Amino acid sequence: MPSFLEALREGYSRDTLRAETPESIAEVAADPAGFIDNLLDPPASLTLPDGSQGAAVPSTTLWYIDGATFLGALYIRHHLNENLEKVGGHVGYAVRPGARGHGYASAMLAQGLDYIRANLPLQRVLLTVNALNPASIRVIEKNGGQHTASIPHIWRPGETALHYWIAL
Ligand SMILES: CC(C)(COP(=O)(O)OP(=O)(O)OC[C@H]1O[C@@H](n2cnc3c(N)ncnc32)[C@H](O)[C@@H]1OP(=O)(O)O)[C@@H](O)C(=O)NCCC(=O)NCCS
Mean pLDDT for all residues in the chain: 96
Kindly list the domain boundaries of the chain, sorted by start residue.
2-122
CA 87-110-164 angle, 5° bins: 30
Q: Which atom of ligand 1 is nearest to the CA of 140?
A: 48
From the CB of 102, is ligand 1 less than 6 Å away? yes
Task: Tell me the C-alpha distance between 28 and 150, whole Å.
Answer: 35
How remote is the CA of residue 162 from the centroid of ligand 1, in Å?
15
Summarised one tens digit per residue, pLDDT across range 74-88 is 999 999 999 999 999
Among 12, 63, 90, 138, the mutation site with the greatest number of ligand 1 atoms within 8 A of its Cβ is 138
Residue 21's nearest CA partner among 9, 34, 30, 35 is: 9
The strand pair at 146-152 and 160-167 is best described as antiparallel
Domain 2-122 maps to which CATH number in 3.30.470, 1.10.10, 3.40.630, 3.30.420? 3.40.630
Q: What is the pLDDT of residue 68?
A: 96
Cα torsion angle, 9, 20, 161, 65, sign: positive
Whether pLDDT at 50 is above 90:
no
Pocket flag, ligand 1, residue 75 (CB < 6 Å): no
CA 88 to chain centre: 8
pLDDT digits (tens, 9 = 90+) for 116-166: 999 999 999 999 999 999 999 999 999 999 999 999 999 999 999 999 999
